[in-house]
Structure 1
């Protein structure tokens, strides 16, 4: 059922995504709703992580906190990429100091073939409710981004059972059980498409797909285990623009630009603006790629580095963002300096 929402007052982000002319680049930050905000920390003391994610009123409040505080050009719904593994029967817990831990990871072929993408949107209705509520509460101030994890990244967690630097168990499973791995990837792709389409119906105005662990794959393995599924997801979603963020996969920029079907590509900080523009040949909007640790430096340095980054990318077909999520120890004033620098940007005559 389609929803009715207030008219959008700031469409800068959506125009940049669609390659339309903009007066300046839009700006938002990955993980902008989170631990660097004192008002978020107050809620964190009262509620567990999944209580915050699964309570639409809390997810809505957290999503809007950075909009009130920093006034960026887009909001992103407060949720987590591991909602899909949860919907597929994987027990997910967030252990302080360790991160996500799966209580029943995929260890065998039978475990893999038991993964079936059934009723995923229904099982994650709290996310859709949060999106609808947030769209209404935003009252058209900025667009709302929905998101999901890419199949390869979700596979990593579901097989490894926890976070890892190299996800050796997940990569070994690919090599030793390719048929079972393909089954999981296929089901994850179906689940992701269903989930993201439900987010759009609920009110999401753009979608970002996070392939956070793409960079641990070789180029050939990326072509086999990541790219086809990213393409399938992007090509299935025609209702709103899609941003693909394949962190660390600098070698795949050209393929992503011309094959993924995405409206925009997210960039981490290891890629120069010139390299990214050369490889993508202005075929897609680029998003990124400020190193989040630079937000810990003096405000004057943040302003200079932000302005230089925009100078190098150019103002068109560009969305200013970080190269990964904002760090929890970033002072709010430093995050504000980043956003304000973009909003006040004027190119040299």
Structure 2
């Protein structure tokens, strides 16, 4: 396919280290439970099922772009979508998260784990619908979960507070751990390739649980596999890498090869950029809770974050800035507060 050039898209310009026409902004989880129109269209439809319905996933992806004037849509999906498509028995349980019917506990389980070997045509069709509505200033960001987070869900059987089974396998049976990670890479890569071939303009590799690891463990047990996934689309589209609570891992994560590094709200952007292995575009990092604090607080936080990014660029540690939250939009967030925050970010460009 012929990919959209998007010379006037602020997010694409910023990701390339060029000066955008305005500060680009998009929010993780901008599509979802904070929007009444989302709750209406998804009523009675299970989360994972909705990710395989082209018209519905397109509608959900586009809702926040229409409402908030953000500079990018983020593909409505879930990190376990490629596992589901490959044949893994996994469901998203309301109030809990992804739950795996048969957890991976040994080498035999790894050997039996299916690998995604096809395009997810429903997602590809959804992307084509989305691209038909976005204009040339609005980018579409694709999305895949990082292999550590997927591995943890598989080993724990669901969300975990301590990841004890995951860490036990990692250290007591490293051969099985590395076999599991190596098995996940082609499934994640196939899902990413579906999105790239369908026309996404950028992508984000999202690692929900990497912040539970030490830098030593991350480098040995995770970094090579995340690097391989990002390398698979090198030179094709801008790549964003983000993990939750990963301030201590930013240096190692920046070595995986993405052009853009997402930073959560716990680390000032200029301090984060100083940790990178080499200059990157910054993404972040308003605390999602600040959207509950009112216009004046948000305005002050936006100014502070932009000043931190400017200092990082001036110091030569960063090459640009894409505004975002330091994690996802919280479900109880007033949609009006999100729209207002976007306007503040744009007016202070």
Q: Give the TM bin, normalised by the shorter chain.
A: over 0.9
Q: Determine the structure 2 residue equivalent to 1:177.
A: 173
- Listed one character per residue, the Cα deviations across residues 306-345 of structure 1 (whole Å, up to 9, x for unaligned) are 1221122128611100111100100011111211111101
183 and 37 in structure 1: CA distance in 2 versus 1, 3 angstrom threshold: same
The reply on whether 1:327 has 2:330 as its aligned counterpart is yes
Task: Report the Cα distance in structure 1 between the residues aligned to 2:135 and 2:20, rounded to whole angstroms.
Answer: 22
* Residues 11, 72 of structure 2: 8 Å contact kept: yes
- Listed one character per residue, the Cα deviations across residues 242-266 of structure 1 (whole Å, up to 9, x for unaligned) are 1011222222322333x22111011
> Which stretch has the larger CA shift, 166-175 or 280-289?
280-289
Alignment map for 1:146-295 (pairs within 5 Å): 146-238=142-234, 239-257=236-254, 259-280=255-276, 283-295=279-291
Partner secondary structure for residue 54 of structure 1: coil
Partner secondary structure for residue 24 of structure 1: coil
- Listed one character per residue, the Cα deviations across residues 78-134 of structure 1 (whole Å, up to 9, x for unaligned) are 111111222343211122222221112212321112224241x43x22112211221
Matched length: 341
1:79 pairs, out of 74, 77, 80, with: 77
Task: Report the Cα distance in structure 2 between the residues aligned to 1:248 and 1:44, rounded to whole angstroms.
Answer: 30
> Which stretch has the larger CA shift, 130-139 or 12-21?
130-139
116 and 48 in structure 1: CA distance in 2 versus 1, 3 angstrom threshold: closer
The reply on whether 1:303 has 2:299 as its aligned counterpart is yes
Task: Report the Cα distance in structure 2 between the residues aligned to 1:9 and 1:220, rounded to whole angstroms.
Answer: 40
* Residues 38, 60 of structure 2: 8 Å contact kept: yes
Considering only aligned residues, what root-mean-square deviation do their CA atoms show, in Å? 1.8
* Residues 7, 13 of structure 2: 8 Å contact kept: no
Q: Determine the structure 1 residue equivalent to 2:316.
A: none
> Which stretch has the larger CA shift, 150-159 or 84-93?
84-93
* Structure 2: runs of 5 or more not aligned: 314-318
Task: Report the Cα distance in structure 1 between the residues aligned to 2:27 and 2:288, rounded to whole angstroms.
Answer: 10
> Which stretch has the larger CA shift, 209-218 or 313-322?
313-322
1:37 pairs, out of 23, 30, 35, with: 35
Task: Tell me the CA shift for residue 144 of structure 1.
Answer: 0.4
Partner secondary structure for residue 268 of structure 1: coil
Task: Report the Cα distance in structure 2 between the residues aligned to 1:3 and 1:51, rounded to whole angstroms.
Answer: 30
* Residues 117, 191 of structure 1: 8 Å contact kept: yes
282 and 96 in structure 1: CA distance in 2 versus 1, 3 angstrom threshold: same
TM-score when normalising by structure 2: 0.92
TM-score when normalising by structure 1: 0.92
* Structure 1: runs of 5 or more not aligned: none
Q: Determine the structure 1 residue equivalent to 2:343.
A: 340
Partner secondary structure for residue 337 of structure 1: helix
4 and 230 in structure 1: CA distance in 2 versus 1, 3 angstrom threshold: closer
Task: Report the Cα distance in structure 1 between the residues aligned to 2:6 and 2:66, rounded to whole angstroms.
Answer: 16
Q: Determine the structure 2 residue equivalent to 1:318.
A: 321
Task: Tell me the CA shift for residue 3 of structure 1.
Answer: 5.2
Q: Determine the structure 1 residue equivalent to 2:24.
A: 26
* Residues 208, 244 of structure 1: 8 Å contact kept: yes
Q: Determine the structure 1 residue equivalent to 2:87.
A: 89
Task: Tell me the CA shift for residue 4 of structure 1.
Answer: 7.0
28 and 175 in structure 1: CA distance in 2 versus 1, 3 angstrom threshold: same
Q: Determine the structure 2 residue equivalent to 1:103.
A: 101
- Listed one character per residue, the Cα deviations across residues 156-191 of structure 1 (whole Å, up to 9, x for unaligned) are 101111111221112112223221211110121122
